[in-house]
């Protein structure tokens, strides 16, 4: 080896090692920031999860009637700060409507806001004029009635305003609620069905707060992301359950954020339903992906008695996670709800082998075949 090369490599060596250490440390820090640390880390899970009240309506002349009043309100989400809100029959969110297949319903919506609203039954099979889209405006101080027969299988649906140009803002303020359909099949299934005890509604919403406690509906390319999580309108929430199988009916009620839902111990659970109703058989998994408006039902076994946190993982893909981080909208690594199991003598529900029979459409019976191309960078925000 020539003398001068040997000298150079001896001189470079310590610098190379230092560089290597710096690069490794930087890499580890980035990895921690992007994939380990939750955007809303530091939660203490001190607030009992709020459970929306249920509304069964009253039967008048053979029709089940529900009264929904949309109005402004105020709620303390963050300690010591009042947030101006809007809600249905209350200051934030609305009651869970319990519907049954085969019944005729009247949903009477009173608009006490000082602006136009509508009420859309997301996932309901209804005639267009009952759908509460921008065409069915409800002027301030006026009421509107949606009447239709409930004719679809058991499913976890939701309702929210849908006025042109202000849907996002009105839902962000709190106007939204769940509507769950039962049918003969769901009656027969041996599943947890005690509302708020082993059958838990979970409305997942991200929010931005101003210093004075007001919601900040800041448009960011049409989509609004927040780094403070509200579950059923509860900040920093925990839920005590019996240490057995518990059913969660999840709704992503956020403006634009997609969640990669799982538990912080990565435990497996079973998905039993999607937006449209029950799957044919329970699906074992450790993640459920929910885009805005989407629902899922999961069964989770807590018989080990261990406390776990329901969370969202940063799994949007490496590049998107990095971009989100630098856009200041968080990586999607978010703590949602701490589950605290308590010992119980009550037996756990067995996992049903079969949940539903789904008839499939035979493609060979198609009268005409039309190719459709779905494209677009992003959706949601309005």
Q: Which is nearer to Cu ion, 276 or 352 (CB)?
A: 276
Q: Containing H/E element for 51?
A: none
> How distant, in Å, are the alpha carbons of 240, 243, 335 from that of 197?
9, 11, 22
Please, what is the minimum distance in Å from the beta carbon of residue 29 to Cu ion? 40
Q: Which is nearer to Cu ion, 237 or 292 (CB)?
A: 292
Q: Which is nearer to Cu ion, 118 or 335 (CB)?
A: 118
Please, what is the minimum distance in Å from the beta carbon of residue 273 to Cu ion? 18
Cβ-in-10-Å burial (0-12, 13-18, 19+) of 313 comes to: buried
Please, what is the minimum distance in Å from the beta carbon of residue 170 to Cu ion? 12
The total of other beta-carbon atoms located within 10 Å of residue 212's CB is 9
Angle at 378 between CA 372 and CA 382, to 5 degrees: 110
Q: Which is nearer to Cu ion, 45 or 121 (CB)?
A: 121
Please, what is the minimum distance in Å from the beta carbon of residue 334 to Cu ion? 22
DSSP label at 36? I
Q: Which is nearer to Cu ion, 75 or 162 (CB)?
A: 162
Given a contact cutoff of 8 angstroms between Cβ atoms, the answer to whether 275 and 123 are in contact is: yes
**What ranges make up the beta strands (E) of 172-265?**
177-182, 199-207, 228-231, 234-235, 237-242, 245-252, 259-263
Binding positions for Cu ion, rule: CB under 5 A: 122, 293
Please, what is the minimum distance in Å from the beta carbon of residue 175 to Cu ion? 12
Q: Which is nearer to Cu ion, 83 or 118 (CB)?
A: 118
Tokens found for residue 73: 């309100």
Q: Which residue is nearest to Cu ion (CB)?
A: 122
SS3 24: helix
Q: Which is nearer to Cu ion, 122 or 349 (CB)?
A: 122
Tokens found for residue 50: 């709020």
DSSP label at 220? B
Please, what is the minimum distance in Å from the beta carbon of residue 294 to Cu ion? 10
Please, what is the minimum distance in Å from the beta carbon of residue 118 to Cu ion? 11
SS3 282: strand
Q: Containing H/E element for 144?
A: strand 143-149
């Amino acid at each position: 080896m020539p003398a001068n090369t040997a000298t150079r490599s001896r001189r470079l060596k310590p610098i190379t090692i230092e560089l290597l250490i710096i690069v490794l440390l930087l890499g580890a820090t980035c990895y921690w920031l992007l994939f380990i640390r939750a955007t809303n880390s530091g939660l203490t899970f001190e607030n009992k999860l709020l459970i929306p009240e249920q509304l069964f309506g009253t039967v008048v002349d053979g029709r089940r009637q529900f009264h929904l009043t949309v109005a402004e309100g105020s709620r303390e989400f963050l300690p010591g700060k009042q947030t101006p809100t809007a809600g249905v029959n209350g200051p934030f969110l609305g009651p869970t409507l319990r519907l049954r297949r085969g019944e005729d319903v009247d949903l009477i919506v009173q608009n006490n806001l000082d602006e136009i609203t509508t009420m859309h039954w997301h996932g309901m099979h209804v005639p267009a004029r009952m759908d509460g889209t921008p065409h069915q405006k409800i002027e301030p101080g006026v009421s509107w009635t949606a009447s239709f027969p409930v004719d679809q299988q058991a499913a976890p649906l939701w309702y929210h305003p849908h006025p042109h140009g202000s849907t996002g803002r009105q839902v962000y303020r709190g106007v939204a609620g769940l509507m769950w359909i039962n049918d003969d099949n769901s009656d027969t299934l041996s599943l947890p069905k005690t509302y708020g005890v082993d059958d838990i509604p979970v409305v997942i919403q991200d929010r931005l707060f101003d210093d004075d406690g007001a919601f900040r509906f800041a448009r960011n390319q049409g989509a609004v992301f927040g780094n403070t999580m509200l579950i059923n309108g509860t900040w920093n929430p925990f839920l005590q359950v019996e240490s057995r199988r518990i059913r969660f009916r999840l709704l992503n009620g956020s403006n634009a954020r997609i969640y990669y839902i799982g538990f912080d111990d990565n435990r497996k659970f079973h998905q039993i339903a999607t937006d449209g109703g029950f799957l044919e058989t329970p699906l074992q998994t450790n993640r459920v992906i929910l885009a805005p408006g989407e629902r899922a039902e999961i069964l989770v076994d807590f018989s080990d008695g261990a406390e776990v946190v329901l969370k969202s993982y940063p799994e949007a893909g490496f590049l998107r996670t990095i971009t989100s981080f630098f856009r200041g909208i968080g990586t999607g690594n978010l703590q949602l709800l701490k589950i605290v199991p308590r010992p119980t003598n009550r037996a756990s529900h067995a996992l049903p082998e079969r949940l539903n029979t789904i008839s499939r459409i035979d493609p060979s019976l198609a009268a005409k075949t039309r190719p459709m191309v779905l494209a677009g960078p992003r959706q949601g925000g309005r």
